[in-house]
């Protein structure tokens, strides 16, 4: 059933199967995925069938809260990936980034540079906060440190930049920021993100 009503994970598995460009390999990928999800769905179905009416009502309430949380998380990721200035994360990140900026200014950790290197790791982007000058070309070098996560799909929506960097490869992007402010960047799912501050 999960194949016909796809979630993000299912779509990712289907994309992986298609990108294998081999019918047998694609079939094996999907078969393993289905076998991996069967125990969870069988367990949930069995659990709801043996619960009494009181517990079943409580279970459904908890399940509804969890589904709402996952829905809000998905909406948040989509807003970030689209470069929306408003998302749950950008509101809380602004508070954290402002705190980080003040401590970084005190420690002189972040300097203005037009030649920036960002490493793509399994934990996201490092550094995830950089400063550049307005009106001057910026050379942004992206280095993928053997990462297979969505972080390898680097996006700067406001500049129309979208690059997929394969594991153990690097790409260089050159752009010229025209106005001061913050330029957010993220992975394609909005999970890993950072900010380029233009001064």
Could you write out the three-class secondary structure of the chain?
A: CCCCCCCHHHHHHHHHHHHCCCHHHHHHHHHHHHHHHHHHHHHHHHHHHHCCHHHHHHHHHHHHHHHHHHHHHHHHHHHHHCCCCCCHHHHHHHHHHHHHHHHHHHHCCCCECCEEEEEEECCEEECCEEEECCCCCEEEEEEECCCCCHHHEEEEHHHCEEEECCCCCEEEEEECCCCCEEEEEEECCCCCEEEEEEC
Q: Could you read off the pLDDT of 123-175 as tens digits, one per residue?
A: 899 999 999 999 999 999 999 988 888 889 999 998 999 999 999 999 999 99
Say what the pTM is: 0.62
Task: Choose between 140 and 100: higher pLDDT.
Answer: 140
What average pLDDT does the segment 6-34 reach?
Answer: 86
Q: Which domains does the chain have, with CATH numbers?
A: 8-81 (no CATH), 88-198 (2.60.40.420)
Task: Tell me what pLDDT residue 90 has.
Answer: 67
Q: Which residue has the higher pLDDT, 139 or 105?
A: 139
pLDDT of residue 180: 92
């Amino acid at each position: 059933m999960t194949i016909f009503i796809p979630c993000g994970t299912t779509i990712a598995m289907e994309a992986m199967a298609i990108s294998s460009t081999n019918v047998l390999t694609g079939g094996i990928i999907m078969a393993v995925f289905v076998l991996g999800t069967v125990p969870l769905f069988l367990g949930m179905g069995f659990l709801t069938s043996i619960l009494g009416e009181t517990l079943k009502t409580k279970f459904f309430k908890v399940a509804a809260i969890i589904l709402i949380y996952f829905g809000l998380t998905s909406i948040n990721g989509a807003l970030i990936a689209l470069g929306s200035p408003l998302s749950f994360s950008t509101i809380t990140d602004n508070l954290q980034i402002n705190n980080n900026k003040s401590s970084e200014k005190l420690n002189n950790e972040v300097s203005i540079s037009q030649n920036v290197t960002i490493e793509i790791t399994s934990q996201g982007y490092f550094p995830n906060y950089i400063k550049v000058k307005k009106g001057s070309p910026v050379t942004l070098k992206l280095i993928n440190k053997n990462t297979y996560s969505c972080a390898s799909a680097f996006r700067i929506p406001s500049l129309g930049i979208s690059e997929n960097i394969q594991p153990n490869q690097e790409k260089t992007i050159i752009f010229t920021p025209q106005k001061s402010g913050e330029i957010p960047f993220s992975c394609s799912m909005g999970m890993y993100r950072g900010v380029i501050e233009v001064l």
